[in-house]
Homo-oligomer: A and B are copies of this chain.
Amino acid sequence: MFNDLRASDVLAAAHRIREVVQRTPLVHSSELSALAGAEVHLKLENKQTTGSFKLRGALNSVASLGDDVRRRGVVASSAGNHGLGLAYAARRFGVPATIFVPSNAPKVKRDGIAALGARVDESQPHYDAAHAAALKFAADHGATFVNPCAGATLLAGQGTVALEILEELPDLATFIVPVGGGGLLGGCASLLRRASPRTRIIGAQSVATDAMARSLTAGRVVEIGYPSTLADGLAGQIDDEGFEIGVHALDGIDTVEEDDIARAIVWLDAHGMGRVEGSGAVGVAALLARRLTSLASPVAIVVSGGNIDDDRLADLKQRFA
C-alpha cells in the first residue's frame, strides 16, 4: 500500500484542499537550533483549523468522494482530532457525519465534534468498541468509513504538511514527526521519499505509546497496552499498513518519557508557539531531552496538534515551569 502512494497524489491533495486548510507557520527556533547543532524549524499544526493536521486528510478524503457516495455520509470512530477534522470537513462539503466517541473520552472533545454539526454516538464504552460500531454503521447505512490513519486519500492529505515545509526548506535534511498509527508519517514520507530523497525521516513517540518502535524492533506488529499518556493522540495499536509505512518511511525512531513531553509542552507555551498537546510535543521533547543531537541541518519538527485541556495545561505549567 505505502509504496503505491504517489508524490503527485500529495500535490493534488494540496491543490484540492488549498482554499480550506490553513498554511501553518514554519518558525525558526534559536534555542532548539543550539541544542540540535542544526537550524531547527517548527511546523505549527497546532495552529491549524480544528487544532491539528488531521483536518488535511479528512478534507481530502471527503473532497475525493463522488456525489452519490457523499450523500450517504461519512463515519469514523475518534475521541479527538480525527473526529474534529472529519466533522469540519463534512460540514464544509455538506456531508452528514457520524462520529463514534467512546463514552470515556474527554467531554471537551465530544462537545467540539458536536458543535461542528456531526452526530455524536456515545453508546460505546471504549475506543475498540466505538471502532467496531463505526464499521457496522458504515455497512448498515452505506456511509463511508474514514480511517484515522490509513487510506490513500487520507494519507495524501496528511502529506501536505511535508509539502508546505519543502516549499520553504527545499534542502530539508532532517524531518522529525510524531508517530501513532502512521498516517502523518506515511503521507509525508510518500512525498519526501520522492521529492527530497536525501531527507532523513525520524519518528517520535512516547514510551507509553511505542507500538511502532517496538514493532520495528521485533520485525512484526507488536500489540501494546493502553497506559495513560500525555500523548493520547498517538495511543493504540498499529496495523499491517502502519507497520509497512514504518518499515519504508522511517530512518530512525525515538521514544521520550512522559516528563520530557510535559516539559516540551510547557517550553512551547513559554516560547510563543501556542498551546500544544502531548502528541504534538514529542518531537520537541526529544530535542529538549538531548536525545537527538548532531542532526543534519536544516531540521523541521512537526508540532502536530494543540488540543489540550485548560486544566491539564495549567497543571503542567505549574509543575514543570
Which A positions have Cβ atoms within 8 angstroms of B? 6-9, 11-12, 14-15, 163, 166-168, 170-172, 191, 194-197
Interface hub of A9, A11, A163, A195 (most chain B Cβ within 10 A): A11
Q: Is the CB of A171 within 8 A of B8?
A: yes
Interface hub of A163, A194, A197 (most chain B Cβ within 10 A): A194
Q: Is the CB of A7 within 8 A of B167?
A: no
Smallest CB-CB A-B distances: 9 pairs: A15-B167, A7-B195, A8-B170, A12-B170, A8-B196, A8-B166, A194-B194, A11-B166, A11-B167
Which of chain B's residues has its CB closest to A156's CB?
A: B170
A168: chain B residues within 8 A (beta carbon) = 12, 15
Q: Is the CB of B167 within 8 A of A6?
A: no
Q: Is the CB of A7 within 8 A of B194?
A: yes
Beyond A7-B7, A8-B170, A8-B196, 16 extra complex contacts between A and B, CB < 8 Å: A6-B171, A6-B195, A6-B196, A7-B194, A8-B195, A9-B170, A11-B167, A11-B170, A11-B195, A12-B166, A12-B167, A12-B170, A14-B167, A15-B167, A15-B168, A194-B194
26 sampled A-B residue pairs with Cβ under 8 A: A6-B170, A6-B171, A6-B195, A6-B196, A7-B7, A7-B194, A8-B166, A8-B170, A8-B171, A8-B172, A8-B195, A8-B196, A9-B170, A11-B163, A11-B167, A11-B195, A12-B166, A12-B167, A12-B168, A14-B167, A15-B167, A15-B168, A191-B195, A194-B194, A194-B197, A195-B195
How many copies of this kind of chain does the complex include? 2
A170: chain B residues within 8 A (beta carbon) = 6, 8-9, 11-12
Shortest CB-to-CB span from A63 to chain B, Å, is: 13
A172: chain B residues within 8 A (beta carbon) = 8
Interface of A (DSSP majority class):
helix
A167: chain B residues within 8 A (beta carbon) = 11-12, 14-15
Q: How far is the CA of A126 from the CA of B194 in the complex (A)?
A: 43
Query: Contacting A7 at CB < 8 Å: which of B9, B15, B171, B196?
Result: B196
A11: chain B residues within 8 A (beta carbon) = 163, 166-167, 170, 195
Q: How far is the CA of A213 from the CA of B308 in the complex (A)?
A: 61
Q: How far is the CA of A196 from the CA of B7 in the complex (A)?
A: 7
Shortest CB-to-CB span from A47 to chain B, Å, is: 18
Q: How far is the CA of A313 from the CA of B167 in the complex (A)?
A: 40
Which of chain B's residues has its CB closest to A195's CB?
A: B7
A166: chain B residues within 8 A (beta carbon) = 8, 11-12
Q: How far is the CA of A7 from the CA of B7 in the complex (A)?
A: 10
Shortest CB-to-CB span from A8 to chain B, Å, is: 4
Interface hub of A8, A167, A168 (most chain B Cβ within 10 A): A8
Q: How far is the CA of A70 from the CA of B13 in the complex (A)?
A: 36
